[in-house]
Amino acid sequence: MAHQDKHTTAHAESAHNNGAHSQDHGNVKTYLIGFVLSVILTLLPFWMVMEGDFSKVTTLWGIVVFAIVQIWVHLKYFLHLNFVTEDGRASTISFLFSALIIFMVVGLSIWIIYESNAMMMY
């Protein structure tokens, strides 16, 4: 009887974990919301540039703001990064650390190449 209780408990925990796991990966609704938001956040800056009624500074800031919002949409709806759960928090921190390292490697490489070029020109 004790063996059957352990099996039932293990099965219930497994079902609970699978349910939580599938929620982390989203569903059609969340992917559709992310897709629609991405399309809107792409079309608005495109419209700002094509319309030409905005100043260059306003257009540039609009593009930057929409790009940052679109990055957030991709991270939330497609990569499912969040701070709500412990796993989500760990995934988000890992992603941000990786992005920082990549940014530093690329940024410092460009800086070194630029400075080397500047030294060779004079």
Interatomic CA distance for residues 71 and 69, integer angstroms: 5
Interatomic CA distance for residues 67 and 53, integer angstroms: 20
Predicted confidence (pLDDT) at residue 121 exceeds the cutoff of 70: yes
DSSP per-residue letters across 54-122? S-HHHHHHHHHHHHHHHHHHIIIIIS---SSSHHHHHHHHHHHHHHHHHHHHHHHHHHHHHHHHHHHH-
Query: Would you state the structure tokens that stand for residue 42, as one six-digit string?
Result: 């792409």
pLDDT digits (tens, 9 = 90+) for 29-86: 999 999 999 999 999 999 999 998 999 999 999 999 999 999 999 988 988 888 788 8
